Amino acid sequence: MALADQSQQWYPTSVQVTVFQARNLRIKGKNGTNDAYAIMQVAKDKFSTSVAEKCVAPVWKEEATFDLPLFHHGNTERCTLYIIVMHRALVGLDKLLGQAVINLVELHEKKSRNKTEWFKLLDKNGKADKDRGEVLLDIQFMRNNMTASMFDLSMQDKPRSRIGKLKDKIRGKKKDGFSDSASAIVPSTTQVMTDSEGEGDAHMDSPGVKKKSKMKTLFAPKSNLQRNVSQSMSTLGSLPEKNSALSGSRSSGLNMDSPEVKKKFKFLAHKRTGSTDSKVSQGPFSLLGRSKQSAGEQNNLCINGSHVYAEEPEPKMTKAGSSLSLNSSGQGSVEDLRRGQGRHNSDVSVESLKGLSLPSYRAEMRERDLLEQRRKEQEQQEEENRQAEERRREEARRLQEEHARQEEQERRRQEEARQAEEERRLQEEARRQEALRRQEEARKAEEQKHQEEASVSDRLSSLFGIIRKKEEKKEEPPEQPAPALQEEKHRSAPHSLFREHAEVPLPLASTNPFEEISLSPEPLNPFEEHPPGPQREVRSPHTPSTGFPSRTAKVSAVKPRPHPVKPLSSLESQTPTSISSGRDIKSSVIHENMPLRMKVTSSVESGPYSQLTQDELISLVVKQQAELSKKDGKILELEEYIDNLLVRVIEEKPSILLTMGSTKKAC
C-alpha cells in the first residue's frame, strides 16, 4: 500500500534551474554598477553564470540542472538550492551581493507555485539583514529522460513484477516526453519487455564464467554508458539496505550526484561485480538496441566515455561482439542474485534503472503515468508467469540484434576513425596555439622589462594598462566557447522546444548529427583543460543543459568561467555573447573549419593576452604587482635617503639648493 502510494507520487530526479536576472542589487562595483554573476548550487554541484558586466540589474538567462538524489524532507540539506549572486572583483575576492536559499522539497510540494518567480536575496548566513534585491528564477522539476530510451530498448524485455510496472510508467512518460517517437515506442512495449527477460535467461547460461572479461567489460561498456546507468549502480552499491524501500519509491536514491558517480562506480565494480556487470553491459545493448540513427551518437558517447573513464574507444569496438556474451553472463548473475540473496536488491537495481530512464516530464503527465502503472501491476504478474517463455524468445531476438549490432559497430568504427582524425587535427591546432601563446608571452615579458625601466609613474600607468587589457581579455574567452554552444543550440533546437531533451527524436531527424556536434566541444580545448570528454553530458540527464566538462559540475572554487552554463534557449542565447554571435553563426555553418577560424580570429582580435586563461592573467598581474611593490619599496628607501641628505643640506649649506638656473645665471 505504502509502496503503491509512493509510487504514485511524483518524485523529481533532477531540477532545472534557470537564472534569468536580478534586480535591486546592492552596488559593489565601480561607477554604481556591478560585474555580477550567479552561482547555482545544490549539494556539492555548483554552476556559475557568465559575468554580466557593468550593470545594475544583470540579465543572465542561464540554466543548470541538478540531480536530486534522495529527494525527501530528511535530506533537505542536499535538496536546497542556493543562488548566490556575486560581484566579480578585479582584485581580491569577489563580493557577495546576496543569496537566495530555496528548499526544493518544499517548493516541489507547493503545487500552486509559479514556475518562475522572484526570490529575495539574503545575506551570507541566509538571513535577511537588509534589502539585497531579488533574483528571478525558473525552477522545473524533472525526471531524467536520457536513459529512458536506452533502457527501454535494452531492458524493455524484462517482464518482472515491479520492473514491469515501472517500465510501463516509463513508457508512459516517454510517450509524453518524446512526442515524436511516442507512437513508435508504444507498440513495442510489451514485446520488448519480454525480450529483455529472455536476455536475462540466456545470460544465466553462463553464470559465473568470464569473471575476468567481465571485469574488463565492466569498464569498457561503462564508458559507453551514460551517467545514469552508473548512477543507478552506485545507488545500489551505496544504499543496499534501502533497496527494498527504494523499489517502491523509485525516485529516491536513484540519482547520485554526477561527480560521485565515477568513484562509486569503481567501488561498485569490486563489490558487486555480478549485478553491476549485468547492468553495465546492458548499457551498450540498450544503445545498440536503439534506432540505428543513434549510431553516431553512440559513437560520441564512447569517445566521451573513454575520456571520462580513460578508456580507449577501441576496446569497446572490439569487444562489441563479445560483449554480447558478457552481457548475457552479467544478466545471468543478476538473475542469480535475485533468486539467491536479495530479490529486492536486484529488483531495485533494475527499477532504479528504470527510474533513471524515465524521461523528464512535467506534472501534467502524471495522470497518464498512473494509469500505466496500474496496468503494469497487472501485467507484472502475468509477466512473471511468462518469463521462461520469454527468455527463450529473447534468445532468438538477440541473435537478430547481434547482426544489427555488428552493423552498428562497423559504422561506429568508421565514425571513430573519423573522430580520431579530427581529434588529432584539433590537438595539432591546440599545440600551434600553445606555441603562439608562448611567443606572445615572451614578447609581453620583454615589453614588461622595458616598461619597468621607465619611470615609476610610467610603470604604474602601464600596470593599469595591463589590467585594462586583462579585462578585455576576460571578455574574450567567452566568445570562443560561444560558437560551440550555439552550435549546440542549433542542434538542440528541437529539444529545447520540448525542453525534454528527447534523445530519440533527434537521431530520427538527422542521420548523422553527432558527427558535427563532436566538433563543437573541441574549440573549447585551448580554454578548457579537458577537451572533448564531458561533452556527452550535454545529453546526459544530469546536465542536460551544459556543453561543459563535468569539471564544471564539480567545481568547488567557483570563479566564473567564460560560459559554464549554457544560455537559455537558442534564441536568447545569442544575447549574452552578442558580440561574437555573427561570427559564431558563420562558424557553425562551416563546422569543419570552425576551430581553425575561431582561433585565427581570436588571436588576431584580442592581442597577446588573449590566449591566457583568467587564472593565468591574474597570476601574471599578481606577479607584476609584487614586483612593482618591491621596486616601490626601493624607491621609497632612496627617497628617504635623499630626503635625509636634503635635510642636512638645508640645515648646513642651503645655498647648494639654489636652483640650477639662478646659479648658472649667477655665474
Site residues (CB under 8 A) for other proteins?
639-640, 642-644, 646-647, 650-651, 654-655, 657-662, 665-666
Please state the closest distance from residue 616 (CB atom) to other proteins, in A.
35
Shortest distance, CB of residue 640 to other proteins, whole angstroms? 6
- Which positions ≥6 away from 168 have C-beta within 8 Å? 189, 372, 373, 375, 376, 379
- Of 322, 329, 299, residue with least CA distance to 423: 299
**Residue nearer to other proteins on the CB measure, 111 or 664:** 664
Residues near 157 by Cβ (< 8 Å), separated by ≥ 6? 191, 192, 193, 194, 195, 196, 197, 198, 199, 390, 394, 397
CA gap 530, 521 in Å, rounded: 10
- For the CA atoms of 641, 646, 651, 654, what is the dihedral angle to 10 degrees? 160
Q: Find all residues with CB under 8 Å of 557, minimum gap 6, and list them.
A: none
For residue 530, the minimal CB distance to other proteins (Å) is 50
Query: For residue 41, which amino acid is it?
Result: Q
Q: Which is nearer to other proteins, 593 or 629 (CB)?
A: 629
Q: What own/partner pairs with CB < 8 Å and gap ≥ 24 does 167-170 have?
A: 167/193, 167/354, 167/376, 168/372, 168/373, 168/375, 168/376, 168/379, 169/7, 169/354, 169/358, 169/369, 169/372, 169/373, 169/376, 170/354, 170/355, 170/357, 170/358, 170/359
Nearer to other proteins, 77 or 651 (CB): 651
> Apex CA 311: angle with CA 410 and CA 197, to 5°?
65
Do the strands 45-48 and 14-23 form a parallel or antiparallel pair, or are they unpaired?
unpaired
Neighbours of 562 (CB within 10 A): 22
Q: Is there a contact between 115 and 138 (Cβ–Cβ < 8 Å)?
A: yes
DSSP category for residue 70: S
Which is closer to other proteins, CB of 445 or CB of 657?
A: 657
CB nearer to other proteins: pick between 590 and 647: 647
Listed in sequence order, the DSSP H helices in 205-312 are 211-224, 227-238, 243-248, 258-271, 273-289, 295-309
- Min separation Cβ 651 and other proteins, Å: 6
- For residue 164, CA distances in Å to 150, 216, 595 come to 16, 30, 47
Task: State the minimum distance, in angstroms, from the CB of residue 642 to other proteins.
Answer: 7
CA 438 to chain centre: 30
Q: What nine digits make up the cell of 56?
A: 545594475
Minimum CB distance to other proteins smaller for 557 or for 666: 666
Closest approach, Cβ 661 to other proteins, in A, equals: 6
Nearer to other proteins, 417 or 638 (CB): 638
Asked whether 19 and 137 are in contact (CB, 8 A), the reply is: yes
Closest separation between CB of residue 635 and other proteins, Å? 12
What are 219's strand-pairing partners? none
**Minimum CB distance to other proteins smaller for 447 or for 639:** 639
Closest approach of Cβ 662 to other proteins, in Å? Answer: 5
* CB nearer other proteins, residue 114 or residue 662: 662
CA atoms within 13 A on the CB side of 252: 22
Closest CB 632 distance from other proteins, rounded Å: 12
Cβ 53 to other proteins, closest distance in Å? 28
C-alpha to C-alpha distances, 210 to 218, 312, 399, 473, nearest whole angstrom = 12, 21, 20, 55
- Exposed e or buried b per residue across 271-309, where buried means at least 16 C-beta atoms within 10 angstroms of its C-beta: ebbbbbbbbbbbbbbbbbbbeebbbbbbbbbbbbbbbbb
Closest contact distance (angstroms) between CB of 25 and other proteins is 30
CB of 557 to other proteins, least distance (A): 38
Based on CB atoms, which residue is closest to other proteins, 310 or 647?
A: 647
| Residue spans of beta strands (DSSP E) within 463-612 | 566-567
Closer residue to other proteins, CB minimum distance, 434 or 643: 643
Other beta carbons less than 10 A from residue 581's beta carbon: 17
Q: How far is the CB of 462 from other proteins (least distance, A)?
A: 18
130 vs 665, which CB is nearer to other proteins?
A: 665
Nearer to other proteins, 128 or 645 (CB): 645
